[in-house]
Amino acid sequence: MPSNRDYYYEDGIFFSKGSSSKDMLEDNEAVPLPKYPIGVSFRKADQIHFRELRTEHGRVILTQIKQKCLVDYLSSFYSVLPEEKDDEYSMSHSDLLKYSQRRLRDKTFTEGTNLVTKFGLPRRNLGYGGFATTYKFITIDKTYHVVKYITLDPRRFTTFEKIHEEYLITRDLDPKLFGVGLDIFASLKDPYHIMFVQKFIEGKDLISSIESNPRFQNPEFSFQVFKTIANSVHILHEQYNICHSDLKPENIMFDSDTDKIKIIDFGMSFRMDLPITSYTNVVNLNCGTPGYYQRIRSNDLEYELDYNYIGRAKDMFSLGHTFFNMLSYNNLWDNCSMKDVAYAKYYKTGRLLEYENLKRRYYETGQKEKLQQVVKVEIWLRYMMQLNVSARLTFYQMITDEWFRRIPTLHKKLPGGLY
């Protein structure tokens, strides 16, 4: 990771140190503090222009950035975590939260932990969410990171504590299977925004992969992708005790060059080993994307079902819908309204109407083999999406099933030799 001494900016110019340029500041010169007021929008990150000047030896010495105020604004962000990883890992989760909260409150940041120094600048926009915009950041030596720019809004449960929880959930996940959190930044000047930095993952999200990659035309391939995702979710439950809680194609990355699949966006995830009354757990258990999650009915909690069971069942339901998305471009609830989170028609008829439409489509276009394939897995969809939580397919039933076991996984070797 480049250090504070590797590069810095001044007057809108981004300098790389260690070159022979006369314009360089002294090595011990600090990164200048921001001179501009808060609230600079950087939605148009694509418009930042990098101009590289090269020495005779071809070395990049200088990059010019047009939006000086943007750089100033971004440079007001510093890490709230301890500088030394050893210090961080010697603290319990709650002590680390207290430590970060204190830094946030007192703004006792360290010079070497500046956002721009560590992770560079936004290169392009990756997505807009309700409370967050996600950017791809680039450092001067061209390493990429993903930075989620989050607007704090306690009325909508977007609190510093919740982001800290997302960091704690993701920092130790296996980077081969999941999006990993790296750091949290707060600003000296702007109390309303937080930056959450993650490892960059190659590829596209599954929703655009399904649309653009012809391999998804073949249900056999969709089965393989489904199994690979399902295995990762199972590992998330068993090895990390975490319910993802917002599984959907947008939150799954697929790299078509390497066939690697990684699950991202743990913004709604929760620990299944915490008490059911824990604040974030209650909130996250009842959140999700309409269509992909089934509202937890209070009697499921009152009766015999424990939290671990419900967390797993919630992910299974979302996995079912994700599986359907891979088999068909349609939304499973097109016959209901998207607002109809209780899936009224499904309740009434007990039939997955869109699944029947999918079969009819294959029948009418004479695609016999595809028809056979999707008929074969219809029973799976039914069990995965049972509205009655206690009758839903469990992960244990899934991974021990003969058909499931025979599907090749795209990840040849999984950690722990599980499969």
- Of residues 61, 74, 2, 85, the one with CA closest to residue 34: 74
377 binds, among ligand ADP, Mg ion, none (CB under 5 to 8 A by kind): none
Say if CB 249 and CB 205 are below 8 A apart. yes
- Of residues 153, 226, 236, the one with CA closest to residue 374: 226
DSSP 282: H
- Site stretch for Mg ion (CB under 5 A), options 36-44, 50-58, 244-252, 360-368: 244-252
- Reported as type and span, the H/E element at residue 128 is strand 121-128
Task: Using the minimum distance from each CB to ligand ADP, give the nearer residue, 61 or 169.
Answer: 169
Task: Using the minimum distance from each CB to ligand ADP, give the nearer residue, 252 or 385.
Answer: 252
* Cβ 206 to Mg ion shortest distance, Å: 11
Query: Six-digit token pair at 87?
Result: 């210090």
How many chain residues are in contact with Mg ion, going by CB under 5 A? 2
* Cβ 264 to Mg ion shortest distance, Å: 7
List strand residue ranges (DSSP E) for 181-225, in order: 181-187, 193-199, 204-205
CA angle 69, 72, 75 (to 5 degrees): 150
Q: Please name the residues in contact with 375: beta carbons below 8 A apart, sequence gap of 6 or more.
A: 359
* Cβ 135 to ligand ADP shortest distance, Å: 9
Query: Six-digit token pair at 332?
Result: 């499973």
Q: Interface with Mg ion includes 322 (CB under 5 A)?
A: no
The DSSP annotation for 10-55 comes to ETTEEEETTS--TTPPPTTPPPPPP-S-S----TTGGG---EEEE-
Task: Using the minimum distance from each CB to ligand ADP, give the nearer residue, 199 or 361.
Answer: 199
> Which member of 183, 265, 315, 354 binds Mg ion (CB under 5 A)?
265
- Of residues 131, 10, 119, the one with CA closest to residue 72: 10
Query: Six-digit token pair at 5?
Result: 């001494």
* Cβ 134 to Mg ion shortest distance, Å: 8
166 binds, among Mg ion, ligand ADP, none (CB under 5 to 8 A by kind): none
Q: Could you identify the residue written with the tokens 């959190």?
A: 181
Binding region for ligand ADP (CB under 6 A): 126-127, 129, 132, 134, 146, 148, 179, 198-201, 205, 250-251, 253, 264-265, 267
134 binds, among ligand ADP, Mg ion, none (CB under 5 to 8 A by kind): ligand ADP
Question: 3-state class of 353 per DSSP?
Answer: helix
290 binds, among Mg ion, ligand ADP, none (CB under 5 to 8 A by kind): none
The closest residue (CB) to ligand ADP is 129
- Site stretch for Mg ion (CB under 5 A), options 6-14, 112-120, 260-268, 371-379: 260-268
* Cβ 129 to ligand ADP shortest distance, Å: 2
* Cβ 255 to ligand ADP shortest distance, Å: 10
Q: Interface with Mg ion includes 251 (CB under 5 A)?
A: yes
Rounded to 5 degrees, what are φ and ψ at 147? -125, 120
The closest residue (CB) to Mg ion is 265
- Site stretch for Mg ion (CB under 5 A), options 183-191, 265-273, 342-350, 359-367: 265-273
Say if CB 374 and CB 326 are below 8 A apart. no
Measured distance CA(307)–CA(316) in Å, rounded? 14
* Cβ 390 to ligand ADP shortest distance, Å: 30
Task: Using the minimum distance from each CB to ligand ADP, give the nearer residue, 203 or 219.
Answer: 203
Say if CB 87 and CB 79 are below 8 A apart. no
201 binds, among ligand ADP, Mg ion, none (CB under 5 to 8 A by kind): ligand ADP
Q: Interface with Mg ion includes 198 (CB under 5 A)?
A: no
- Interface residue list for Mg ion (CB under 5 A): 251, 265
